[in-house]
């Protein structure tokens, strides 16, 4: 681990603190009229996703956590495990489905993602901003169903259920925002 000064903090930086592993969301250097300077931070826990506000003295030392990112391809699901292959070394890695949370709703075989690792632990997955998925099941659209803004539920090929416009039919390919889980467009 690398020890660094709180004066060198940047957004997105990972820190290993006594409370756990955090990433910096916001930071602000404050120099009051009296007393010593300090750094006010907002930190996000990597494992629990909780937010912590913490104040450090200026020039206090903290441990920077080194996060490895590697491009991986989703190969297949094996029971409660998802198997990825490293795009550079072709090594395969089995990851517990529970550690990936809602990310699995956007993954289909052959997709590439960026896996974030701290030591041997998988701490995150970076998906593309949007993915194309096929509608597996929804009520068929009826001619004239063009009510502005009306939506209906649709089950996608990964099992994800989203709200889509009335004109979307089973078998259509739709673009889904991976950050919000919302329908973007028919592709």
User: Are 41 and 11 in the same domain?
Assistant: yes
Which range marks the domain in which residue 88 is found?
68-126
Ranges of residues in the chain with a pLDDT under 50 are: none
Task: Label each residue of the chain as H, E or C.
Answer: CEEEEHHHCCCCCEEEECCEEEEEEEEEEECCCCCCCEEEEEEEECCCCCEEEEEEECCCEEEECCCEEEEEEEEEEECCEEEEEECCCCCEEEEEHHHHHHHHHHCCCCCEEEEEEECCEEEEEECCCEEEEEEEEECCCCCCCCCCCCEEEEEECCCCEEEEECCCCCCCEEEEECCCCCEEEEC
CATH number at residue 165: 2.40.50.140
CA distances from 140 to 26, 33, 89, 136 (A): 46, 67, 45, 11
User: Are 19 and 46 in the same domain?
Assistant: yes
User: Are 28 and 72 in the same domain?
Assistant: no
pLDDT tens for each residue of 117-161:
888 888 878 888 888 999 999 887 666 656 667 788 999 998 889
User: Are 46 and 21 in the same domain?
Assistant: yes
Q: Determine the pLDDT at residue 145.
A: 58
User: Are 94 and 58 in the same domain?
Assistant: no
| pTM recorded for the entire structure | 0.68
Q: Which of 126, 157, 174 is the last residue of a domain?
A: 126
Tokens of 47: 């494992």
| Domain total in the chain | 3
User: Are 101 and 134 in the same domain?
Assistant: no
Q: Which of 64, 95, 115 is the last residue of a domain?
A: 64
Q: Determine the pLDDT at residue 174.
A: 93
Q: Determine the pLDDT at residue 93.
A: 87
CATH number at residue 35: 2.30.30.30
Q: Determine the pLDDT at residue 142.
A: 66
């Amino acid at each position: 681990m690398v020890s660094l000064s709180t004066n060198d903090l940047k957004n997105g930086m990972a820190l290993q603190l006594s409370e756990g592993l955090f990433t910096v969301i916001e930071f602000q250097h404050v120099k009051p009229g009296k007393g010593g300077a300090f750094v006010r931070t907002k930190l996000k826990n990597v494992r629990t996703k909780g937010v912590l506000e913490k104040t450090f003295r200026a020039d206090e030392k903290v441990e920077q956590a080194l996060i490895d990112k590697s491009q991986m391809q989703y190969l297949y699901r094996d029971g409660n495990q998802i198997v990825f292959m490293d795009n550079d070394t072709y090594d395969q890695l089995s990851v517990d489905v529970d550690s990936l949370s809602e990310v699995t709703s956007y993954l289909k075989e052959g997709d590439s993602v960026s896996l974030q690792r701290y030591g041997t632990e998988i701490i995150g997955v970076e998906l593309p901003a949007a993915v194309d998925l096929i509608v597996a099941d929804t009520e068929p659209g009826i001619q004239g169903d063009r009510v502005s803004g009306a939506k209906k539920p649709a089950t996608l090929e990964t099992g994800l259920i989203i709200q889509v416009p009335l004109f979307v039919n089973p078998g259509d390919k739709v673009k889904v925002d991976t950050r919000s889980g919302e329908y973007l467009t028919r592709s």
